[in-house]
């Protein structure tokens, strides 16, 4: 398995929190923690920005994706609104998570809660090449369910 060094800096409000970590041997994502001072009550239909207390230097050629946790999604309707959130390699601000409550009950987020997960992913940047005609394919313009359900 490939690994790459990911430098992280803990901000003072996360000083006592553990760093994100993989929760199983081959987990793709590290769970990330809410670096909140006070609990946040997120009402159904609302969204909020949760601090992680972390800055990071994502290696060039990679991104960090902020993704939901399926257990929270299934059991409580908790979503990462911009999923997958993108942390760019040149971003040095605090990483934050946009959490939305799509469930029917208020959702309480407390300091240290594992609210989402982060995946380090390699990326390919596009070098746009404008052209008059694209190569033909069998699918052509068919999409959005044109093959049926």
Strand runs labelled E in the chain: 7-10, 21-22, 30-33, 40-42, 47-57, 62-67, 78-80, 85-87, 94-101, 107-109, 114-122
Segment 6 to 65, residues that bind ligand DUT, using CB under 6 A: none
Question: Taking Cα atoms as reference points, which of 57, 58, 40, 38 lies closest to residue 49?
Answer: 40
- Gap between the terminal Cα atoms of the chain: 36
Taking CB under 6 A as the binding criterion, the range among 3-11, 25-33, 38-46, 86-94 that sits at the site for ligand DUT is 86-94
Taking CB under 6 A as the binding criterion, the range among 17-25, 32-40, 83-91, 120-128 that sits at the site for ligand DUT is 83-91
Taking CB under 6 A as the binding criterion, the range among 10-18, 29-37, 93-101, 133-141 that sits at the site for ligand DUT is 93-101
| 71 marked among binding-site residues | yes
| 69 marked among binding-site residues | yes
Q: Closest approach of Cβ 131 to ligand DUT, in Å?
A: 27
Q: Closest approach of Cβ 57 to ligand DUT, in Å?
A: 12
- Is 87 a binding residue for ligand DUT by CB under 6 A? The answer is yes
| 48 marked among binding-site residues | no
Question: Taking Cα atoms as reference points, which of 124, 122, 121, 29 lies closest to residue 80?
Answer: 29
Q: Is the peptide bond before 84 cis (omega within 30 degrees of 0)?
A: yes
Cβ atoms within 10 Å, residue 93? 8
Q: Closest approach of Cβ 40 to ligand DUT, in Å?
A: 16
Segment 104 to 143, residues that bind ligand DUT, using CB under 6 A: none
Choice from 33, 36, 66, 115 touching ligand DUT (CB under 6 A): 66
Instruction: Tell me the C-alpha distance between 85 and 25, whole Å.
Output: 24
* Residue list for the binding site for substrate: 69-71, 82, 86-88
């Amino acid at each position: 398995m490939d690994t790459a060094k990911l430098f992280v800096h803990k901000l003072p409000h996360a000083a006592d929190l553990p760093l994100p970590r993989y929760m199983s041997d081959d987990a793709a994502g590290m769970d990330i923690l809410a670096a909140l001072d006070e609990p946040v009550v997120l009402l159904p239909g609302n969204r909020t920005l949760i601090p992680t207390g972390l800055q990071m230097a994502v290696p060039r050629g990679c991104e960090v994706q902020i993704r939901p946790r399926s257990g929270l999604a299934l059991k409580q309707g908790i979503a990462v609104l911009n999923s997958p959130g993108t942390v760019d390699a040149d971003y040095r601000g605090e990483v934050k998570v946009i959490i939305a409550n799509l469930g029917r009950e208020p959702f309480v987020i407390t300091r240290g809660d594992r609210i989402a997960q982060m995946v380090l992913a390699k990326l390919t940047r596009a070098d746009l090449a404008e052209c008059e005609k694209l190569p033909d394919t069998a699918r052509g313009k068919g999409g959005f369910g044109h093959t049926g359900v």
